[in-house]
Structures are given as C-alpha cells and as structure tokens.
A = this chain, B = another copy of it.
C-alpha cells in the first residue's frame, strides 16, 4: 500500500425530504447571499427550486438564481456565473442538480476568487488558491462530484473537456435525497450506474500490490450497483434501490475506495474526448470505452481481471486457463451494461469511426503517460477500434 492522505470533510445529509434543510445548512456554513445554480427546467417544473428558495428565505438568506447548466457543462455559463457573483457579492454557491451542475458550481466558486481566466485552473496553467464555499442538493446519482475534490468543464471552442481538483472545492455539505432521483428516466439512471462503476474500476485496476482493503471496498460498491441498478431501471420509484445507488455513487468517488494505490483514469480520459466531441452522456461513453479498454489491457495483469470476474461477476475461476476467466468477466460487464440499456459500440453511441484519429490526438495531449497501462496514441486508436465494433 502506498502512502496517502484522505480528507473528506463534506457533511452528507441523506434521506427523504432533507433538501428542506438547505437554508439552515447554508447558514451553518456562513452563507449570506447564495447563488442557486441549476440545469434545465425540470428542477423548476418539479417545484424543487421553489422548495430550495423557500428554505433559504426561511433561514433569512438572500439568493439569486442561475439555471441553464447542460450535461458536459460549458465554460460559457461559468463565465456568466462568475460575473453574476462578482456583481451581486455572492458568497456561497448552491448547486441543485447532478454532477454537471456541481462541477459548474465548483468552477464558478474557484473562478470568482481567481484574478485571471478561470480556464487557467482547468488547463493546468494555474492552481486553485481560494474558492467560495459550495453546497449541493443532488438530483442524479452518478458523478460523485457531491463528495469529490474534482470538477470537469467543456470549453465550447474546440469542445475540449478538462478537469481540475482541489480540496478547496469540496462541498461543505451535500444533501442526498433519493426521492429526487426517482423521476430520472431509465437511460439516465443507467448512465449514472455506469459512471459509478467506472469510478470504481479506474481505481480497481492498479499496479500497487497488497491493497486488500481498498480492493474489497471497490468490490462492495460494484456488487451493490450490479444488484440495485437493474431494479432502479425497471422500477424508477423504488426508493431503496435509489438510496443504495445514491450512497454507492458518493462512496465510489470520494476516494475512500481508491486511497493508497496507483489508479488508472485512461477510460475517463478517452471518454472525455468522446463526450466532448459528440456531446453524448458521459456514462454512455464510458459504457462503450471501458470494456474495450479492459480487452486491450487485460493481459497486463490477468489475475486482477480474474479477481474482478470471480468476486464481482460471480464467474467460476478457470484454473487451467485463467485468461478465459478474465475475458468472461469483461463479457459479463458489457452484458450488464447492455441489459441496463447502455450502448456498447460506436453505432449505438452515435460516434463515428472516422473520428478515431482526432479523438486519439486530443487524448494524447494529456492522459497517456499514466495509469495501469501507459497508452500511446496508437494504443488509444486500438481501444477505440475495439469500442467501435464491440458485440455482446
């Protein structure tokens, strides 16, 4: 096990109707004037935004709203939010939505406190030194941004998707009410489940030996999603399935399952190029990329893939031919993704084979020098070729 620091100071407030406490929570964390940041109209139509602002009013906290966050949140709205906060002396950002809204809120929170262009903090030109406090009312279980130190933003010009991380943008509190996720369509539910699994797998495939505790914790989250996601897809109103998935999403990404070990993140790197270019859902992109990545790298550590196959997907170990077990595990993963309604190849995703060189070029800039297996540009092309043609 490697040396590590683990710091997750977010107060998680979980359960039915907890969003009604958001006014008091903002007050507890020092808010005087809050920017309520959200996505499309559904949060307004459902009455959620009205409940949030009523809770803020009750706590005597001023507020301004800024909606319009899109999936794969854009730099353009971040600039708008920063300007609004500066003009109105906003001192707290309250994200009401999924990972995109949380990420956009983190970008605004750090951008307000940065003198230059906020994109500097995302493209590696500068580090976050200060940020407004952020709170989250979560409506989608997926990204884990509610308990993470990271944020990903897409630059409209050139459609580049880039991320940053800092303990300074960890939410002060995150309200997790599984009821709010019960209205999510099956497709988005499945995208969320895929993202959760991917967050775990990015940590699971490691070159650090002797990491039993984090291996087992990773498997705990994966087994939970495998049990609960099909239930939530079939019965959207199933509170218990939604609750288990929602807490699994947070645990999957606050790094408690990933400390003390090298991690991969190349599947996320490749997927960011896909959703940057085509604006597809992040989870859908991962469903296409991650099994392909697994097929490309499994020979690097066959036994680790056998561990996944047996412990996570319940495969029988083939002691005479372990590679067969490894491949069977990957097949189980892809089959599971298909069964919950995810695309498994380029056609189903809406991606184009001819874009593979462009995707690989963009990817090559950032990600290929790290991970479980270091990837060259050609390796990324090979993975995308596997992804393009994948079958059950």
Which stretch of A12-20, A102-110, A158-166, A299-307 is in the interface?
A: A12-20
Chain B residues within 8 Å of A217, by CB: 217, 220-221, 251
Is B3 within 8 A of A18, CB to CB? yes
Nearest residue (CB) in B for A210 is B240
What is the minimal beta-carbon distance from A212 to any residue of chain B, in angstroms? 5
Chain B residues within 8 Å of A211, by CB: 244
A319 contacts partner chain B, Cβ-Cβ < 8 Å = no
Is A216 within 8 A of B209, CB to CB? no
Is A247 within 8 A of B3, CB to CB? no
Is A221 within 8 A of B212, CB to CB? no
What is the minimal beta-carbon distance from A239 to any residue of chain B, in angstroms? 8
Within 8 Å by CB of A11, from B5, B12, B216, B247, lies B5
Q: Which chain A residues (96-138) contact chain B, with CB distance < 8 Å?
A: none
Q: How many copies does the complex hold?
A: 2
A8 contacts partner chain B, Cβ-Cβ < 8 Å = yes
A7 contacts partner chain B, Cβ-Cβ < 8 Å = yes
Chain B residues within 8 Å of A212, by CB: 223-224, 227-228, 244
Is B247 within 8 A of A259, CB to CB? yes
A66 contacts partner chain B, Cβ-Cβ < 8 Å = no
Indicate whether A248 sits within 8 Å of B5 (C-beta atoms), given known contacts A220-B220, A260-B243. Answer: no
What is the minimal beta-carbon distance from A90 to any residue of chain B, in angstroms? 25
A44 contacts partner chain B, Cβ-Cβ < 8 Å = no
Q: Which chain A residues (146-164) contact chain B, with CB distance < 8 Å?
A: none
Q: Which chain A residues (235-284) contact chain B, with CB distance < 8 Å?
A: 240, 243-244, 247-248, 251, 256, 259-260
Chain B residues within 8 Å of A5, by CB: 11-14
Nearest residue (CB) in B for A241 is B210
Is B221 within 8 A of A216, CB to CB? yes
Chain B residues within 8 Å of A4, by CB: 12, 14-15
Chain B residues within 8 Å of A220, by CB: 213, 216-217, 219-220
Is A224 within 8 A of B228, CB to CB? no
Chain B residues within 8 Å of A354, by CB: none
Is A1 within 8 A of B251, CB to CB? no
Within 8 Å by CB of A1, from B213, B221, B247, lies B247
Is B14 within 8 A of A259, CB to CB? yes
What is the minimal beta-carbon distance from A249 to any residue of chain B, in angstroms? 10
Chain B residues within 8 Å of A251, by CB: 213, 217, 256
What is the minimal beta-carbon distance from A233 to any residue of chain B, in angstroms? 16
Chain B residues within 8 Å of A14, by CB: 3-6, 259-260
A60 contacts partner chain B, Cβ-Cβ < 8 Å = no
Q: Which of A2, A14, A220, A224 gathers most chain B CB within 10 Å?
A: A220
What is the minimal beta-carbon distance from A222 to any residue of chain B, in angstroms? 9
Nearest residue (CB) in B for A209 is B240
What is the minimal beta-carbon distance from A184 to any residue of chain B, in angstroms? 18
21 A–B contacts, CB within 8 A, in A order:
A1-B240, A1-B243, A1-B244, A3-B14, A5-B12, A7-B10, A8-B8, A9-B9, A210-B243, A212-B228, A213-B224, A213-B228, A213-B244, A213-B248, A213-B251, A216-B219, A216-B220, A216-B221, A216-B224, A217-B251, A247-B260
